[in-house]
Amino acid sequence: MTRENLAEVLEEIALLLELKNENPFKIRAYRQGAETVRNYDGEIVELAKNNQLTGIKGIGEALRDKLHELASTGKLEFHEKLRSEFPSGIFELFDVQGLGPKKVKALYEALAISSIADLKAACEAGKIAGLPGFGDKTQTKILEGIALRATFADTFLLGSITPLVEEITSLLRLHPEISRVSAAGSFRRAKETVHDLDFLVATRSPAFVCEDFTKLPQVDSIIVCGDTKASVRLKNGLQCDLRAVSNAQFPFALQYFTGSKDHNVAIRSLALKQGLSLNEYGFTGETAANFEVNEEADIYRALGLDFIPPELRENRGEIEAAAEHTLPKLVELTQLRGTFHNHTTASDGHDTLEAMADEAIDLGLQYLGIADHSKASFQANGLDEQRLLAQIDAIALLNAGYEKFRLFAGSEVDIHKDGTLDFDDAILAKLDYCVASVHASFTLSEDDMTRRICRAMENEHVTMLGHVTGRLLLKREPYAVNHAMIIDCAAETRTIIELNCGPQRLDMDWRWWKRARDKGVLCSINPDAHSTMGLHHIALGVRLARKGSLRKQDVLNTKTLSEIETFLKKPKDKR
């Protein structure tokens, strides 16, 4: 049982109770419980197991007992009974974009729809459009949602599988027959989404290790188990491959299975030009004996190349740069001194100003930028002028109590449809900084959307642009926007572009950062945290910044507190 497992069961209970028309307060209690479990700053699973959850805000008596049962036995009778009242396929329906509990319930009651297959058939037969509250448009939207879900069926978010990869890596590391362990493949390259996981281990007992791999607690079923490789399906549906090689083969296998395939093809042809043949087990060829390879870097060195960090291995110019010794020195997590764009309980965040600041201090940061929503984002409880001014005062008061830390007062101000901002300049001028974001009217044409965003960036108070495309990976397509023009406008207006590191966003996309960097546009690695735990996503942001070829000097929040204070005080055109 992990924290996430506990939270998911509580959320599922909330959905089931909603389908049963239960008391909304009860439903909300389960939802809040799930949030609390996710964000609780402590060993919540251990505490639940030992029945020590007393006195935690958001977890009442009933929930406490259920969490104890769940954590100590791995299941919950109440949950299983509820589940058995509904067909199991009904849960798939919640994954379709645009279908919430109310619609799922209506579909189930009116047409006994209890799976995606049922839903698709009903849409195609035109039965959905006639239901009260649905209509033609909704029916088309549902069909699009089903198609989108099918494309993403075997794809996972880098950010959401990272804890799982760390768990499996450390379990493998503990195995007495294993000397070296690494995740490889798209995960190691920090691709924003991943199809399957690839693990590599060095061992003298490959068959034995493969068998043990299939017995890991995260495994749901075995796909194949051989003498040197195994494939399993994990409980979350992700396929996971293991290859067991000798210690001498390990660097070659690691290089090969890290990919990308395009990078490997280019590397292999470079090797051939030098009379070396390279595969996943080693070098062969006349000169092969000249090279001693203990580490991956030795392979690149043998080919006359600098070591290429895994994030860059996409065959987008990194091999040429490695040959010319011009690879960028990529930014590192330890170089971050602070971060911007974070929410609190004032809008749609779950933690207070003070709690967010404390977490930032614990993460070793010197400053934290707050940016709650503005009034146009009413669904997110956006702040009006008066509440924003009160927050500025609250931040000043807290700042008086910190010695070596500072909160920056900001706003995530909505960009209206016409590119004007949700606050007047007079209000914006009172802030330390400001993130401008699009949160509505997503369907503008590319031209109109680009013009809208550029107009916002032209405002002298807009420090940075939030989530450039609004995409939600595996869920919502980006809105149409011309990246090249946005980057040019950012360069001209000295506006920073954020790398929003919410696992579902990772927006701006990594493929655009090198262009931005070369035009002198700064990147701010922003977690868009809605809770203290959300701040931890800066680590994910750094991986994507690296993938985008960004160096320390390209990232705003590597500046120290005193540097950033000076920077923010300057007028935009002097930055």
User: Is residue 437 a contact residue for Zn ion (CB under 5 A)?
Assistant: yes
Residues 6+ apart with CB under 8 A from 498: 340, 341, 435, 464, 465, 466, 467, 468, 508, 523, 524, 525, 526
265 touches, from Zn ion, Ca ion, ligand DGT, none (C-beta below 5 to 8 Å by class): ligand DGT
Contact status: 255 vs ligand DGT (CB under 6 A): no
Q: Which of 123, 128, 168, 194 binds ligand DGT (CB under 6 A)?
A: 194
Rounded to a whole number of angstroms, the minimum distance from the CB of residue 333 to ligand DGT is 23
Residue 30: contacted member of ligand DGT, Ca ion, Zn ion, none (CB under 5 to 8 Å, by partner type): none
Task: Choose among Ca ion, Zn ion, ligand DGT, none what residue 437 binds, the Cβ cut-off being 5 to 8 Å by kind.
Answer: Zn ion
Residues 6+ apart with CB under 8 A from 420: 455, 456
* CB distance 277 to 283 below 8 Å: yes
Residue type, position 446, single letter: E
d(Cα 223, Cα 196) in Å, to the nearest integer? 13
Closest approach of Cβ 182 to ligand DGT, in Å?
12
Nearer to ligand DGT, 194 or 449 (CB): 194
List, as one string, the DSSP characters of 534-575.
Answer: GGGGHHHHHHHHHHTT-BGGGBGGGS-HHHHHHHHHS-GGG-
SS3 category, 314: coil
Q: Are 322 and 300 in contact (CB under 8 A)?
A: yes
- Considering the complex, what minimum distance in angstroms separates the CB of residue 291 from Ca ion? 28
260 touching ligand DGT, by CB under 6 A: yes
Nearer of residues 455 and 530 to Zn ion, judged by Cβ: 530
Stretch that binds ligand DGT, among 8-16, 194-202, 204-212, 518-526 (CB under 6 A): 194-202
Stretch that binds ligand DGT, among 257-265, 317-325, 342-350, 516-524 (CB under 6 A): 257-265
3-state secondary structure of 83: helix
Contact 463, 573 (CB under 8 A): no
Q: Which does 257 bind (CB under 5 to 8 A by kind): Zn ion, ligand DGT, Ca ion, none?
A: ligand DGT
Give the residue, chosen from 40, 199, 213, 257, that forms a contact with ligand DGT under the rule CB under 6 A.
Answer: 257
Using rule CB under 5 A, residue 198 touches Ca ion: yes
Three state DSSP letters for 194-251: ECEEEEEEEECCHHHHHHHHCCCCCEEEEEEECCCEEEEEECCCCEEEEEEECCCCHH
> Under a CB-based contact definition with an 8 Å cutoff, are residues 306 and 325 in contact?
yes
Smallest separation (angstroms) from ligand DGT to the CB of 156: 9
| Binding region for Ca ion (CB under 5 A) out of 233-241, 349-357, 489-497, 504-512 | 233-241
According to the binding rule CB under 6 A, does residue 196 interact with ligand DGT?
yes
Q: Which of 8, 35, 196, 448 binds Ca ion (CB under 5 A)?
A: 196
Say how many residues make up the chain: 575
Using alpha carbons, select from 540, 161, 191 the residue that is nearest to residue 336. Answer: 540
Using CB under 6 A, pick the residue from 265, 390, 429, 440 that binds ligand DGT.
265
Residue span binding Ca ion (CB under 5 A) among the ranges 189-197, 264-272, 444-452, 483-491: 189-197
The CB-of-196 to Ca ion minimum distance in angstroms stands at 4
Residue whose CB is less far from ligand DGT, 191 or 517: 191
Residue closer to ligand DGT by CB (options 260, 441) is 260
For the sheet with 406-414, list strands across it.
338-339, 367-373, 406-414, 435-437, 464-465, 496-500, 523-526
| Angle separating helix axes 261-273 and 250-258, nearest 10 degrees | 130
Could you tell me which stretch among 35-43, 103-111, 195-203, 290-298 binds ligand DGT (CB under 6 A)? Answer: 195-203
First to last CA, the chain: 49
User: C-alpha angle with apex 552: 398 to 358, nearest 5 degrees?
Assistant: 20
Nearer to ligand DGT, 154 or 563 (CB): 154
Residue of this chain nearest to Zn ion (CB atom): 437
368, 342 contact by CB (below 8 A): yes
- Confirm or reject binding of residue 261 to ligand DGT (CB under 6 A): yes
Tell me if 349 sits within 8 A of 530, measured CB to CB: yes
Burial of 416-440, coded b for 16+ CB within 10 Å and e otherwise, reads beebebbbeeebbeebbbbbbbbbe
The pair of three-digit structure tokens given for residue 14, joined into one six-digit string: 């909330």
- Residue 198 binding ligand DGT, by CB under 6 A: yes
Which one of 28, 75, 102, 195 is in contact with ligand DGT (CB under 6 A)?
A: 195
User: Which residue reads 């934290």 in tokens?
Assistant: 368
Kindly tell me which of 313 and 517 has the beta carbon lying closer to ligand DGT.
313
- Residue 570 interacts with, from ligand DGT, Ca ion, Zn ion, none (CB under 5-8 Å by kind): none
Number of residues that bind ligand DGT (CB under 6 A): 14
Q: Which residues bind to Zn ion, rule: CB under 5 A?
A: 437
Q: Which residues bind to ligand DGT, rule: CB under 6 A?
A: 185-186, 191, 194-196, 198, 256-257, 259-261, 264-265
Q: Which residues bind to Ca ion, rule: CB under 5 A?
A: 185-186, 196, 198, 241
